[in-house]
Structure 1
Amino acid sequence: MPALLEPAVPLHHGQPLPDPAESERPPGAGSGQQDQDQLLRESLTNVTRHAHATSVEVVVTATGEHVAVDVIDNGVGIGSSTRRSGLTNLRQRAKKRGGTLTVPEHDGTHLRWTVPLPGS
């Protein structure tokens, strides 16, 4: 089974995440990999820029039918901002793959991106 996510890169507070589009893609990386890259880039960038968090956890869970990626931080939460273009983009990416993006109740922010695995 191919890797669901590329290896992690070290993160440093205040530094932007590397843009996977600027690096060479591994063979066979298709839209699913691009969607996962975007999910991690967007959610982790939001943590470093806005959350004032002291920790963030990324949990990837795969069953025979779905993959779920949870990004959980202990920051200030999403708040009342009306600008949600990043979340809207992630929600649309999940929907086009037959999945969902949810924001479960949590102290801080918890994003859960769930999509079916190809062929399931």
Structure 2
Amino acid sequence: MIPVPSNVRVWLAVGRTDMRRGMNGLALLVQQGLGRDPHAGDLFAFRGCRGDLLKIIWHDGVGMSLYAKRLERGRFIWPSPTDGIVAITSAQLAYMLDGIDWRNPQSTWRPVAAG
């Protein structure tokens, strides 16, 4: 579990990213490709071409962290490449990391009566 404070902005770098890139390569992509500051405290997520691997970089004020998650089955739901960069909430990121469609999470069941 990534210890993300609720006030951190989460950015999805749409399209495909070369997953051979490490922390420095992804930070450079944020700075040059997305036009954002990778050291501002925002969280940046990248998805590989197969869609089952996600890398996240985050500078927490002390140092840069690199997180990776691979789904054993399925793919991460990702915006289309025409959207550029997309901002989501930390709650939507939690859905995404669990393999749930973050755009429209559905409740599985709600009780109708208390007894």
TM-score (structure 2 length as normaliser): 0.31
User: Which structure has the larger Rg over C-alpha atoms?
Assistant: 2
Taking CA–CA contacts closer than 8 Å with sequence separation of 6 or more, which of the two structures ends up with the larger relative contact order? 2
TM-score (structure 1 length as normaliser): 0.30
